[in-house]
Structure 1
Amino acid sequence: MTSLPRVLTIAGSDSGGGAGIQADLKTIAALGCYGTSALTAITAQDTLGVHAVEGISTGMVKHQIQVVLGDIGTDAIKTGMLFSRETIEAVVEALGAHFGPRDRGGREKARLVVDPVCVSTSGHSLLPLEAVDTLRRECLPWATVLTPNIPEAEFLADWEKGSIRSVDDMERCASELGALGVRYVYLKGGHMPLESRQGEPGRKVVVDLLWDADTRTATKEERPYLDVKNTHGTGCTLAAAIASELAKGQPVQRAVVTAADYVAAAIAAAYPVGRGSGPVNHFHSLMPRTLSLPSPHSPTPFTDFLINYNRAAWDRYVFHPFPQGLADGSMPLDSFLHFIQQDYHFLKQYGRSNSLAAYKTDDMLQMAGSIQIVNDVIRETEMHVKYCEKYGISRAELQAVPESLSNIAYTRYVLDTSMQGDLLDARVVTAPCLIGYGHVGKRLLAAQDGVERDEEKNPYWGWIAEYGSDWYQGAVQKGIQLLEDSLVANPISPARLLELAKVFEKATLLEIAFWDAAVGADGAEMTAQRRDLPH
């Protein structure tokens, strides 16, 4: 064994550097492995497409594989463009000569990942039709993992183009491909973006499916859909990443998830190259910044990282039953009044925290942004005052209401973090409140079911409408921009990023506790509060 896991890629060349052998070797190196290669074809290719293809002789293809395996060896293999029937036969022959028969442990030793490259994105044929049967019959039974996208899966399974329209269709197609002899089929869902099952308006997701042909079970992984331009080489990159993880000894189930996460981050961190579809950023994990800079296809990398650090907690917060109860009018009035009074006191401390953020910067634009948030908070508190007056609670009575324990815990954490920390601390600790309310308001305002918009039937609908309105959504966008700009101006270490993620997580959990307390408020508590007010 060498000091690094070894990965052999058998594929064509991309003169533009974004796909093929070039993408494979970049990926393998980025993931800490040693890459070797056997070239099957040369392409004249750029970001606009494949302009010409010329094959390497089968004897030379086989010779490359033989000398690499004989001297250096490998811990996993990835195939890409195999060019012709003769080339496929030469590759299979070389595998059998080195690893032994596939049905006597040869396949397990090879750890082969097959990326079934048939047609380029620009429509250029990369595998003749007469070679497809050879790929199915000779190559796939050698494969540990097959990584088709949806059009490739339909083609290999001999399904009509466009037949896959659902996740169930994906599973049926993957099972048919598994019957060809491959152990695992990792069917990528990027060509079929779906509406988020969480009901978030406008949020698209993709579902990747791993089919285990031995157990006949499917594992599904949902991830955000990135509607971006620079995706050249994603298929090559994913297959090379899976092979790299297998070479490290990872089980297939973990290897595919790790590889998919790597590719998603490479897409998010991509930058423009050429005039067409540019490549992903294979070396994003080696960049000096802890997070990539904002870009048109990933405008909020810091915010996204904070939310996804504990996505389960975030979803518990933004899908909490309290705002849903306000949207459909089912929330008891005592709960709403408890919330509105306690939130008034919270917002006072929230305004102070943003004032501290203004104090902690010398950047006048950052300072102005914090001041604007304070002004938005003042507008929000006045909205609370009007709601209270509607129910017979005067401004003076509202101000005299004592803070609840959950409110004290939350506001003191926000103030302590803002006072003791730096500008980023102050921005991050207040972000869950601003962003979360914006998320809830936008989602419920757009929801078709489970809402009652008639204010005669639902006295709380105005509250939902305010947080979904243009003014509040604008405040959310300004707050996010301040958060992103703060990190762009002051890059941080991975350890510091983790600290900030934990601050965001704790503030999110305190938001959940705040709404839990509102749901649990009862009439007796409200009566006691009113009795204790000064007269």
Structure 2
Amino acid sequence: MKETQFTATLTPVIEVATARSLAHPFIVGLSDGTLPLATFRYYLRQDHQYLEMFGRLHEVLAAQLNTALAQILTSLGEGEDLARQRLHAELKLSAVELAATKPAPTNYAYQTHMAYQNQAHGKAALAAGLLPCYWLYNEVGRRLAQKHSPNPLYQEFFDSYASDDFSSSTNQMRAIVDELAAPLDEAAHEQMRQAFVKSCYYEEQFWQMAYEQQRWR
């Protein structure tokens, strides 16, 4: 009997996070075209800061993996980078403005959470913590790409996450998490599960952060 892959056990978690995301006013506004461009611009600025840290954590993780897995990991998300660059250009978001953006409270907390996973629990928990950024966006993108937002910028956003390239990256990241989980015991699996659940929480909170254009108080 084939053993269930670890990430398959996380499917109920991602399904709940996807349902909540699809109902969030930020995503609804993207889908129906009513989200103010200023709100989307804020999101892109904060997301750029997040993705900078996300990339550095990929490098940290790759250094702990065997050569084959490291090579897969370092190539993930290249299509996402290109899509973001196009959106930045269309909204006239300069490199200077992006670099000057400081992480809002939720963004800061999310980044801190993932860095903690590596420091406290190691590479498997870090990989599990990174996975929702792929899996949740892929699920949201696939469900909304066919709805055709009236705003072409927002449609491009959804299309980039529904693409074959990003779906492939999601599946490859799941495979990395499954391979890291395979030799571990249930206690380590629980650490991975908690890292994944907390990242899903912060992914949902990221929508709210952008929707209210959160500031430090």
What CA distance in whole angstroms lies between the structure 2 residues aligned with 1:319 and 1:485? Answer: 33
Q: Which one has a larger percent helix, Structure 1 or Structure 2?
A: 2
Partner of residue 443 from structure 1, selected from 134, 138, 143: 143
The answer for the alignment partner of 2:46 in structure 1 is 342
Amino acid aligned to 1:475: S
The answer for the alignment partner of 1:370 in structure 2 is 73
Residue 436 of structure 1 and its aligned partner are, at CA, apart by 0.4
What CA distance in whole angstroms lies between the structure 2 residues aligned with 1:329 and 1:310? Answer: 25
What CA distance in whole angstroms lies between the structure 2 residues aligned with 1:382 and 1:312? Answer: 29
Q: Identity of paired residues, percent?
A: 22
1:515 aligns with 2:207: yes
Residue 453 of structure 1 and its aligned partner are, at CA, apart by 4.6
Residue 504 to residue 319, structure 1, CA distance change in 2 (3 Å):
farther
The answer for the alignment partner of 1:46 in structure 2 is none
What CA distance in whole angstroms lies between the structure 2 residues aligned with 1:319 and 1:486? Answer: 33
Amino acid aligned to 1:428: A
Mapped contact 2:14–2:136 kept (Cα < 8 A): no
What CA distance in whole angstroms lies between the structure 2 residues aligned with 1:452 and 1:342? Answer: 25
> Where in structure 1 are there 5+ consecutive unaligned residues?
1-269, 272-291, 294-300, 526-535
The answer for the alignment partner of 1:407 in structure 2 is 107
Q: Deviations over 1:49-98 (max 9, x none)?
A: xxxxxxxxxxxxxxxxxxxxxxxxxxxxxxxxxxxxxxxxxxxxxxxxxx
Residue 319 to residue 439, structure 1, CA distance change in 2 (3 Å):
farther
The answer for the alignment partner of 1:393 in structure 2 is 93
Q: Which one has a larger percent strand, Structure 1 or Structure 2?
A: 1
Partner of residue 126 from structure 2, selected from 412, 426, 433: 426
Amino acid aligned to 1:371: T
Q: Deviations over 1:185-217 (max 9, x none)?
A: xxxxxxxxxxxxxxxxxxxxxxxxxxxxxxxxx
Mapped contact 1:325–1:331 kept (Cα < 8 A): yes
- 1:205-284 alignment runs, 5 A limit: 270=1
Q: Deviations over 1:385-418 (max 9, x none)?
A: 3323322321121111121111111112112212
What CA distance in whole angstroms lies between the structure 2 residues aligned with 1:310 and 1:472? Answer: 17
What CA distance in whole angstroms lies between the structure 2 residues aligned with 1:459 and 1:482? Answer: 32
The answer for the alignment partner of 1:351 in structure 2 is 55
Residue 481 of structure 1 and its aligned partner are, at CA, apart by 1.5
Residue 485 of structure 1 and its aligned partner are, at CA, apart by 2.0
Residue 343 of structure 1 and its aligned partner are, at CA, apart by 0.5
Residue 423 of structure 1 and its aligned partner are, at CA, apart by 2.0
Residue 407 to residue 392, structure 1, CA distance change in 2 (3 Å):
same
Residue 389 to residue 415, structure 1, CA distance change in 2 (3 Å):
same
Amino acid aligned to 2:67: M
The answer for the alignment partner of 1:380 in structure 2 is 80
What CA distance in whole angstroms lies between the structure 2 residues aligned with 1:499 and 1:303? Answer: 13
The answer for the alignment partner of 2:35 in structure 1 is 331
Mapped contact 2:80–2:166 kept (Cα < 8 A): no
Residue 309 of structure 1 and its aligned partner are, at CA, apart by 5.2
Mapped contact 1:318–1:436 kept (Cα < 8 A): no
- Alpha carbon RMSD of aligned pairs, Å? 2.3
What CA distance in whole angstroms lies between the structure 1 residues aligned with 2:22 and 2:32? Answer: 16
What CA distance in whole angstroms lies between the structure 1 residues aligned with 2:191 and 2:177? Answer: 15
Amino acid aligned to 1:518: A
Which has the larger Rg? 1
What CA distance in whole angstroms lies between the structure 2 residues aligned with 1:420 and 1:360? Answer: 15
What CA distance in whole angstroms lies between the structure 1 residues aligned with 2:53 and 2:166? Answer: 19
